[in-house]
Structure 1
């Protein structure tokens, strides 16, 4: 599985009308090159079964995942559909599409560029919101905990075989969220990628 964090910082690419298809594809290409550690042989994506994009929109994290073997597009969002700010709307105009369809548009054009054998199948596929029992109602703060857990535990499996580790009962679920929140916070603070790590640890 390959995770690309390009779209986290791509709000300008979604909204700025000065960018055309080729510029968006080039931005994606540059981001993928970093993700595969500049190993150009991996840029065709033929080595990967699943590619996921981490999205930040409306202050909310979610995933758009492409199953390259089964040509499925899955939106993984912890919020119940009636509360989620994430919608699935397609349009002939790029700027009238919602984000999952924009991601599909750019990714499909990239796959065509690298001559991926199944780009036409993905082009025809429609993003589907994944339904699962631990979706949240009234929780607008733990989306980052859920998305980190989802990235760790989802491998393109069908939902009834997906073991996310989240209990369904409210009290155990709350305890699990508290534990994961603390665990992930420590990892983020102490990560070598955190440029403020030394200062934070020095002040602790």
Structure 2
């Protein structure tokens, strides 16, 4: 990923109308907080890849970040249910899901106080699990301020309208926070990367069987492990490439042409662009 990109061009667009500019995708550059639009593009990519899953494997549905916005959590339960239902219908249409009853896991990414995490609804085993890389030692109630519960109620209302058998059970289900061994206490930049990884790899299994592929934040001596840092940076590059090069991306040829132009630059020109990439991308994000 280079600073060659021009910030206002659309580099990701689906047939169903999801469009993402260059600068949000460039926010996957290491050291930068990931833009919400990059997460929505990732959800679209994962939904597309679900079409090619192995026969008989569980079905997953990935939502966008704005199923409920921050101000929506201050509304009444009925108002939230209406907003959520409209957004869920858009997701289902975009993902080409014929019936929500065919889906086992529903992933809803959330951004709360600039921090990303995911609420995973298991419609088969009737579980609600919060997938969050943050391991800060505060209570569930203090950390999430009833957001998962309000999201649960809105989703349950939607399921009721769809006559889903899990609706009434999920409404009474208490969300739990999974305590993955790769959770962090010091990393405040990569919550979006963790979110994307959790959405990509979680299949509703036990923690022991969850093959996430991330190392612990600290070694046995309690010192920061640079292994996890390297893994996260590599995932940023991988996810940027997967978003741009996905077959669901209708403007993929234009992005590939940009990459080809970058490769034709001299080594000195590429080094100069790479040296200022971080600052250039931040400036572009600020301007947007």
1:100 aligned counterpart, secondary structure: helix
Q: Contact between 1:33 and 1:40, CA under 8 Å: does it hold in 2?
A: no
Unaligned stretches of 5+ in structure 2? 1-59, 220-224, 263-288
Change (3 A) 1:139 1:66: same
Q: 1:14 aligns with which of 49, 73, 76?
A: 73
| Larger helix share, 1 or 2 | 2
How large is the Cα RMSD of the aligned pairs?
3.0
Query: In 2 relative to 1, CA 5–193 (structure 1 residues): closer, same or farther, beyond 3 Å?
Result: farther
**Structure 1 residue 23, shift from structure 2 partner:** 3.1
In the superposition, the TM-score normalised over structure 2's length comes to 0.58
Aligned partner of 1:57 in structure 2 is 112
State how far apart, in whole Å, the 2-side matches of 1:75 and 1:49 are.
16
- Residue pair 2:136, 2:185 contacting (<8 A) in 1 also: no
**Contact 1:6 1:31 (8 Å CA) reproduced:** no
Say which one has the larger Rg: 2
1:152-176 Cα shifts (integer Å, max 9, x gaps): 0001111110010112352321211
CA distance in 2, matches of 1:121, 1:107: 12
Q: Choose from 141, 157, 161 the match for 1:88.
A: 141
Per-residue CA deviation, residues 169-188 of structure 1 (Å, 9 max, x unaligned), is 52321211121122224445
Distance in 2 (CA, whole Å) between partners of 1:119 and 1:138 is 37
2:186 pairs with 1:127: no
Counterpart CA distance in 1 for 2:145 and 2:136 is: 18
1:27 to 52, 58, 83: 83
Higher relative contact order (CA 8 A, sep 6+): 2
The question of whether the paired residues in 1 share the 8 Å contact of 2:67 and 2:87 is answered with: no
**Partner in structure 1 of residue 208 of structure 2:** 160
- Tell me the SS of whatever aligns to 1:46: helix
Task: Provide the C-alpha distance between the structure 2 equivalents of 1:193 and 1:142, rounded to a whole number of angstroms.
Answer: 28
What is the CA distance between 1:9 and its match in structure 2? 5.7
Task: Count residues in correspondence.
Answer: 189
Q: For structure 1, which segment, 24-33 or 130-139, has the greater mean C-alpha deviation from structure 2 after superposition?
A: 24-33
Structure 1: runs of 5 or more not aligned: 90-95
Seen in structure 2, the aligned counterparts of structure 1 residues 6 and 182 have a Cα distance that, compared at 3 Å, is: closer
